[in-house]
Amino acid sequence: MSYESVEDLAAALRRAAEAHGRHEERTGQEDPDWPDWYALYMVRERAGQELPG
């Protein structure tokens, strides 16, 4: 699973950041394991799987 370009990867990171912001709002706390959450989101998004909440 790879990204086609720097722009493609940057866009995926931005989508993950937005979704993670909503995740932190729902939980009401900062997530110290955000890199793991981003990675899970990006892998699932790329594979067309259900995204983490």
Question: What is the per-residue pLDDT for 53?
Answer: 84
User: Quick check: 51 and 40 in contact, CB under 8 A?
Assistant: no
Cα 1 to Cα 47: distance, rounded to the nearest angstrom: 8
From 12, 29, 8, 48, select the one nearest 21 (Cα to Cα).
29
C-alpha–C-alpha distance, residues 34 and 2, integer Å: 21
Separation between Cα atoms, residue 52 and residue 16, nearest integer Å: 10
pLDDT in tens, 1-53: 789 999 999 999 999 999 999 999 999 999 999 999 999 999 999 999 999 98
